[in-house]
Chains A and B, each alone.
Chain A
Amino acid sequence: MANRQLLIDSKKIHVILHRLANQLIEKHLNFSDTVLIGLQPRGIDLANRIKKILEEDYQIKNIPLGYLDITFFRDDFRRNEKPLAANQTHIEFLVENKRVVFIDDVLYTGRSIRAALTAIQSFGRPSGIELLTLIDRRFSRHLPIQPDYVGCQVDAINTEKVLVMWQEKDGEDAVYLVEK
């Protein structure tokens, strides 16, 4: 890949993920009423990691984890050159009266989160929704949406893309800044 710059290496990602897990524990303690929702496509890897850390390193078992695809709830349908392919939604529980934590890799314009806020209502009325994101591109927001848990803030311009790679899928844990 031409012109990419390493922002965060695997060692630092490891530290960040543990910090995020700890912040979740601080707020949710035993997770009795909490469900994790990874946003398709790239948020699910982060969601799986967070769940794994909570289970293996902090012995918090049986946290419900679902995957939510927001393709059909996007606000840019028919405004793109090519339609976006939908991914699988897999939520085997209701979120009625649950504390939902959305998990996504990069928070950019906030439009995906806006769509996710609508989409999750198909599964009930949660008592509250929070947002956890690995990367917050803080100066690029189109909507008044802010994360509750942030791995790292990145200031990038619109012609750049922040790419999060995961060991399971891409062969390494890393965050890159890429010229579009």
Chain B
Amino acid sequence: MSELSTNHLLGIKYLNSEDIELIFKTADQFKEVINRPIKKVPSLRDITIANLFFENSTRTKLSFELAEKRLSADVINFSAASSSVKKGETLIDTVNNILSMKVDMVVMRHPNAGAGVFLSQHVNAAIINAGDGAHEHPTQALLDCYSIKQKYGDLKGLNVVIVGDILHSRVALSNIFALQKLGANVKVCGPATLLPKHIESLGVGIEPNLIKALEWCDVANMLRVQNERMNMSFFPSTREYVLQYGLNKKILDALPKRITIMHPGPINRGVEITSDVADSKQSIILEQVENGVAIRMAAIYLLAAKIKHK
């Protein structure tokens, strides 16, 4: 199979395991491309992509933009802070105005869950969800799983624990879907106030104790505590969070096996993980970032292939 089953990348929920494998296989080739002396291919030279960021982002935006440029697409950037959205323009109006400038694909980050799905029903362009509220962040989950696959060869039967702020995390939900579709076992670990109700209905285990969770897993994905989304107190103090759920070198070294540490960034050093853990040999955080460009190139390339030539 060499074609995605969908025309948009709105969430991992809408992909099947063949789609994910196809994205991985294509990313393998792009990873080779981005390590060449000249890191660019001309595939998308007649495609224009708009990056619409209604919410702040550094690495995701850079990673998408780099991926688009390495594919030779024309790129326009938009961020809500400096736009007419502030003047009261609706999402559909904003996007349709941009599309009338002949844009073929939209990469969108939005603070509201479902914004990507909504847009895909109302505008005529391929949509990539670069994060919608606390819902999904599909390319992050793809690059996380790709990084795990690169280290272990296969995800089947691997034990992966997602630690921290599951409630506010779109990375967690997308990762749960992706890991399960690829056959991994998933547990979540964090204070009860930061675990969504009914999370077990997704088929994930709950382990409130960090040490037990780490002893169980092969891979630990340490999420960031999202202070900006917390409009009330979910734990008494940062210090208390660190004591219960912060991962330090002492805990890591005391584990019976060498587990792999991941983090979607940006890291609050000294909160969810300490610096010596983040920079240790067991951490694949920087591989995640490199793989992010290859994965996004693959996703964009495969979606662009489905846009009919006019």
Contact = CB atoms under 8 A, between A and B. Distances in A.
Interface of A: 69, 71-74, 77-79, 82-90, 94, 118-119, 121-124
Contact of A83 (B3, B40, B46): B3
A78 B305 CA distance: 5
Contacts of B26: 85-86
A94 B25 contact: no
A83 B2 contact: yes
Contact of B29 (A82, A86, A94, A123): A86
Nearest to A85: B2
Given A72-B41, A78-B304, A88-B29, A123 B36 contact: yes
12 contacts: A69-B29, A72-B42, A77-B43, A78-B46, A78-B307, A79-B309, A83-B305, A83-B306, A85-B2, A88-B32, A122-B41, A124-B37
Interface of B: 2-3, 25-26, 28-29, 32-33, 36-44, 46, 71, 301-302, 304-309
Q: What 7 A-B pairs have minimum CB-CB distances, sorted nearest first?
A: A83-B305, A72-B41, A122-B38, A85-B2, A86-B29, A78-B309, A122-B36
Given A78-B307, A78-B309, A83-B2, A73 B32 contact: no
A146 B253 CA distance: 63
Query: Which of A72, A77, A83, A87 gathers the greatest number of chain B CB atoms within 10 Å?
Result: A72
B25 A73 contact: no
Nearest to B22: A85
A78 B3 CA distance: 12
A122 B305 contact: no
A86 B71 CA distance: 14
Contact of A87 (B29, B38, B41): B29
Contacts of B38: 121-123
A108 to B, nearest CB: 21
A122 B302 CA distance: 22
Given A73-B42, A86-B26, 15 more contacts: A72-B41, A72-B71, A73-B41, A73-B43, A78-B304, A79-B309, A82-B2, A83-B2, A83-B302, A83-B306, A85-B2, A89-B32, A89-B33, A122-B38, A122-B41
